[in-house]
Amino acid sequence: MPGNHNISKPDADLTEVAAGWLAALDSGSADMEAFEAWRNSDVRSAVAFAEVASTWRDMDSLRLAQGDMQVETPAVEQPSRRYVIRAAASIAATVIAGSGIAYNAYARDTASTDMGERRTVSVDDGLAVDLNTDSCIHWRTGQPTRLWLERGEVAIRLAAAQKAELRTPGGTFQLMPGIYNARLRDASCELAVVKGSISGAGAVHIGQGEIALATAGRIAPRSREEADIDRVTAWQRDTLVLNGESLDYALAEINRYLPNKIVIGDPALSRIRLGGTFATTNPEEFLDALRTSFGIRATPSNHGGIILTRP
Amino acid sequence: MSWLRDIDRWFMVEVLPHAAAYRARAAHFCGRDDAEDLVQEAYARVLGTSDYRAIAAPRSFVLTIVHNLALERLRRANVVRIDFLASMGVLDIADGAPDAFAIAAGRSDLQQMLQLINALPPQCARVVHMRKIQGMPPAAISEALSISVSTVEKHLAKGLALITKARRDIEAKVEDFCPATTTSLSQTLT
């Protein structure tokens, strides 16, 4: 944290120490006993270690998603010939030993939407995809047809006898005939089974009306209470359904559709809870509701967005 | 990652993803400068809990700890407006937000992670890229770049620390939605 306040920041150094331990553990050079002793010495060490381990884990998602993203290898200024040959050999070995990452990268079709846009694409006979705002999906037809969700949210409709494999940064789903809603949330993917069923790694089976969350290759069902399919699919009717959520949450949802974001200008407002159904195509309606129910004022900001304040 | 204890895995899955919300809450009460410190202290309390499995709603639990720690601090400080303290005490801070992911927006975004890696010093970026994106073992990286395994380790450690810190800064920017209340806090009691 830059700045000239002189609060001692032991955790800043702890992050570096924790990263050092993790790198040593990774390469196998660490003394496990010494590591445990360090971690047990102070709970702040354990916190720092969990935090760097979390970064380390999140970077793994990059590898899982590698076929889906334009990854630029950092430029090598003046590589020696020996370096190039060795690097090439190592990378080749990794790809062969790996999970067919290079195979993913070619001959894919792509569809995407801008913010506020919605689109339907027909991938194959009996396979259609609706893209919500700010979304991107790739596919390659075959047995089975593969879909890669790169960004945003999609609804996937599979006719009888059609199957597909959906790959996401959070994990891969095998989709049976039916209707599904997939939404990326950070490095995870939330998949709702509107109709049909899915399976994933570890023989997980998720049935109709259920929602699963895939994170780092692991698929876990969400609790029944959380599975509200109507709400999940409301975007296809251009609506946002709120049921007592905070204004923070409501704005995060509605801002997905707006190039010019609505932000909270008064922290106290974020605790307000809202209910109702709002059009995602028309933020005015939402702002009107805020004004009439809570007296919240919406003012245009310098950057084209909207700031909410109390009167 | 076999070196993680059960409590660490739980902490990484249940607690850390909501870091932006904790920082926003802490910044709201104590100002941006002290927010990180407050959050770290809350983390320490959580990770020091032996019966962590009994915590039904980890996100709300941590937010409550942040709130209580903030109260403690404000009570100790003599620069707090009394009406502010009073209103804090009666605040309903129940947090049942169903979608913490949305609030933690920006964290672990893959594209952002790639940018962070590419922004590292060149050799450091190269090593992190080989290890984490191409999945090369440290020995193979050492071979490919003609550097020792311990140098590979040093680059990885440096990159990991830099990226962890950069992600904290990014989360701090998310808090700009809720600017800190430092101005009201700086008024002295008379």
Closest partner residue to B102 (CB to CB) among A7, A93, A253 is: A253
Question: What is this model's ipTM?
Answer: 0.70
State whether A23 and B153 contact (CB < 8 Å). yes
The predicted pLDDT at position B64 comes to 86
Residue range A31-59, pLDDT digits in tens: 889 999 999 888 889 999 999 998 998 88
- Between A98 and B143, whose confidence is greater? B143
Within an 8 Å CB–CB cutoff, is residue B51 touching chain A? Answer: no
- Structural domains of chain A in order of their starting residue, each with its CATH number: 10-64 (no CATH), 74-106 (no CATH), 109-230 (2.60.120.1440), 238-309 (3.55.50.30)
The predicted pLDDT at position B183 comes to 32
The predicted pLDDT at position B77 comes to 57
The predicted pLDDT at position B163 comes to 93
The predicted pLDDT at position B178 comes to 38
Q: Which strand (E) or helix (H) includes residue A39?
A: helix A32-41
The predicted pLDDT at position A130 comes to 92
The predicted pLDDT at position B156 comes to 95
- Cα dihedral A95/A100/A105/A106 (nearest 10): 110
Residue B129 token pair: 């890229």
Query: pLDDT-based confidence at A2, cuts 50/70/90?
Result: very low
**Exposed / middle / buried, residue B129 (Cβ in 10 Å: 0-12, 13-18, 19+):** buried
Residue A33 token pair: 């006993």
Alpha-carbon distance of B176 to A262, in angstroms, equals: 13
State whether B16 and A69 contact (CB < 8 Å). no
Closest partner residue to B178 (CB to CB) among A27, A51, A270 is: A270
- Among A101-105, A197-201, B98-102, B164-168, top mean pLDDT goes to B164-168
Per the prediction, chain A carries an average pLDDT of 78
Which sequence spans correspond to the domains of chain B? Answer: 6-185
Query: pLDDT-based confidence at A9, cuts 50/70/90?
Result: very low
Mean pLDDT of A261-275: 79
Residue A96 in this model has a pLDDT that exceeds 80: no
Q: Which residue matches tokens 């049909």?
A: A196
Q: List the single best residue of B1, B2, B3, B8 to mutate versus A (max A Cβ within 10 A).
A: B3
In terms of CA atoms, which chain B residue is nearest residue A253? B102
CA A214 to chain centre: 10
Show the DSSP H helices in chain B as ranges: 6-10, 19-30, 32-47, 58-76, 82-89, 100-103, 110-118, 122-128, 138-145, 149-174, 182-185
Cβ within 8 Å of B, A 109-148? none
Residue A67 in this model has a pLDDT that exceeds 60: no
Alpha-carbon distance of A251 to A240, in angstroms, equals: 11
Within an 8 Å CB–CB cutoff, is residue A215 touching chain B? Answer: yes
Cβ within 8 Å of B, A 222-241? 226
Mean pLDDT of A6-20: 69
The predicted pLDDT at position A52 comes to 92
What is the percentage of chain A residues whose pLDDT exceeds 70?
A: 78
Cα–Cα–Cα angle for A167, B16, A14, nearest 5°? 120
Closest partner residue to A27 (CB to CB) among B95, B152, B178 is: B152
Backbone angles phi, psi at A171, to 5 degrees: 160, 175
Mean pLDDT of A247-275: 83
The predicted pLDDT at position B76 comes to 66
Residue A110 token pair: 């792509």
Beta bridge pairs of residue A207:
none
User: B120 near A78, Cβ under 8 Å?
Assistant: no
Cα–Cα–Cα angle for B38, B39, B44, nearest 5°? 100
State whether B163 and A55 contact (CB < 8 Å). yes
- Give chain A's end-to-end CA distance (angstroms, integer): 34
Q: Low-confidence residues of chain B, pLDDT below 50?
A: 78-108, 175-190
Residue A294 in this model has a pLDDT that exceeds 90: no
Residue range B69-123, pLDDT digits in tens: 887 777 665 444 444 444 444 344 444 443 333 333 333 466 778 888 889 999 9
Closest partner residue to B40 (CB to CB) among A44, A98, A265 is: A44
Q: Which residue matches tokens 């030993």?
A: A97
Alpha-carbon distance of A173 to A164, in angstroms, equals: 8
- Between B103 and A172, whose confidence is greater? A172
